[in-house]
Structure 1
Amino acid sequence: MMSIRLGKLMLFTSVVSAGGCTVMYYLIQKSFSRASYYRLALEQLNNNPGALEALGTPLNIHYLQLIDKYNFVDITNAQLKIPVSGSKTEGHVYVSSSRDAPFQRWHLQEVFLQLKDGQQIPIFKLNEKNGGVKKQE
């Protein structure tokens, strides 16, 4: 009788723990997708005909791999590797963004698409020579 209750308790605890981890994972992904550096990068991707043609439509944005060492965000810098796919192929959108101080606006530094076959398609790069004017390539 005691082992049955202990077994049920262990099962219940495992289910609650797994559910909590799943909810936490979802919330972390949601917070990334709401961040301006993430949204700005995807906006640049969606406005780049060459990148869209290479991937094919419809475009699918996938969850970040949270354990990937490339994905990094601190107070003034952010870099992401966003998995994307289309009807033709898949790849990753690499994003570098920065801001001058906490609570200030994020500014994209560079965005490029790297396809599965290794081809890189430049999407956006901050043009320092023109007084910091943003340039889409």
Structure 2
Amino acid sequence: MSKELNHPADILFKLSGNTLGDMLEDLFDAFNKIFNPIVGGLKKEYIYNISKKEIDDIVFDIGNYSLNKIYEGFFPSKVEVINEDVKIYFSEIIELKGDMEIKAIAYPKVIEDENSISLKVIFDI
């Protein structure tokens, strides 16, 4: 489960999980906490190739792509990691109850321990 941490200028979340899929679900959980959306059914899909990419680059790219989609009216609702691809499903946004504007996701920093992977991600407001 994503956890909001204190940060002096922006919003800082710690994402954690045992797999890339877990990390991305945690990222979308953080989006959910920030935007508090009401969504309809699944409307769009996006496939992102992850071969030869580091986890921080993947979270940065998918996070910012998803953020752009939120402002276009689609919320990331489901994620699957299939071999070398990540497939993201977007639902139509009916309403965003959160009133915060996020400009970008910046500086994902990987923190590894023996049992899981964690990432600290700054949401630039």
Shorter-chain TM-score tier:
0.3 to 0.5
Please give the TM-score of this superposition, normalised by the length of structure 1: 0.33
The structure where strand makes up a greater share of residues is 2
Q: Which has the higher contact order (CA 8 A, sep 6+)?
A: 2
Please give the TM-score of this superposition, normalised by the length of structure 2.
Answer: 0.35
Structure label with greater radius of gyration: 1
